[in-house]
Amino acid sequence: MIRRLAIGSLLVLAVLGIVLYFPQQSQASLRLAVEYNNHAACGYIAKHKGWFKEEGLNVTCFNTYVTGVALSAALARGDIDAAYLCLGPAIMAYARGVPIKIVAGTHFHGYVVVGKPEIKTLKDLEGKRVGCVREGSQTDLFLHLVMEKYGLKNVEVRRANPPMQVMLLATGKIDAAFIPEHWATLAASRGFHVIARSQEIWPEMEGSVLVVKEDLIRNNPEAVRKLVKITERGTKFINEHRLEAAEILAEELRETSPQGVKTEVLNPQIEAITPKLLLKSMNNLEYTTKVDVRVIQQYIDLSYKLGYLDERLKAEDLVDLSFLGSQS
């Protein structure tokens, strides 16, 4: 009898050990970050709808940054474990030794040249003052492609984050801006002219991606799988319920205080972030989780050519698409 009780007790303890062990694996803390725009719409929607908690992900922070460049600095500091950010800054972070992998995409396109109404074509940018985000960003590569294609030699570039560029346009400090959505649609709503969109210059241009730290893949691959699943779910929701997605995104952006921008620059723009404006802006993007390794290599090659990278990296070393259920 005593022996049977002892064996039974051991079995109970073993089962308790299994039950206690595996939740610790799936409930590991996760620090997320996103850019302050509609490129990261799937992340904002997942947060709003409680999908992270539903999948058993313990998201301890959900930080927002005004640009992918600012977000990549947080990755380098070790402040976050996973992020939705533009491809250019993700490549720059990886090149600087940040151990990350691209595990999904979020969209194609979404970068625009807007300017004064009298600037009708890209050739009209010769001799003008233009705004652009920092070197190595998506809009910076877009700027250089435009300058090369149209032979622009005399362009004064002023580096500024997107809301600051909108302010510089409004005050006449710049003539045009290379700027991401939703900021481009916001600028257009204030009377500025859409001169060109990125798909007109680079039809296959990859937009933003989901990156995760390599140690998260090693230590908790299940968390990565769930994060990619949520990204796919969010992307499907955007494509099937675009108006509701715009309404959610407007609410989230209006309640968020992104890092990397002064309040006196951001606050005048917030009232313009409405569902109607975001819906119009989101219709200029192709929301998809697809990742084109060939296009990523093109990004790398262009960044290397411009002197932003010390060596020509291999795109396949930067991606891990094994978690994607489907390239949709």
In order along its 328 residues, the chain shows pLDDT tens digits of 444 444 444 443 444 443 344 444 446 689 999 999 999 999 999 999 999 999 999 999 999 999 988 898 888 888 899 999 999 999 999 999 999 999 999 999 999 999 999 999 999 999 999 999 999 999 999 999 999 999 999 999 999 999 999 999 999 999 999 999 999 999 999 999 999 999 999 999 999 999 999 999 999 999 999 999 999 999 999 999 999 999 999 999 999 999 999 999 999 999 999 999 999 999 999 999 999 999 999 999 999 999 999 999 999 999 999 999 854 4
Number of domains composing the chain: 2
Same domain membership, residue 220 and residue 300: yes
Q: Report the predicted TM-score, pTM, of the whole model to 2 decimal places.
A: 0.89
Domain that holds residue 173: 111-201
How do beta strands 107-108 and 286-287 pair?
Answer: antiparallel
Same domain membership, residue 296 and residue 213: yes
Q: Which of 201, 228, 243 corresponds to the end of one domain?
A: 201
CATH number of the domain to which 256 belongs: 3.40.190.10
Domain membership flag for residue 31: yes
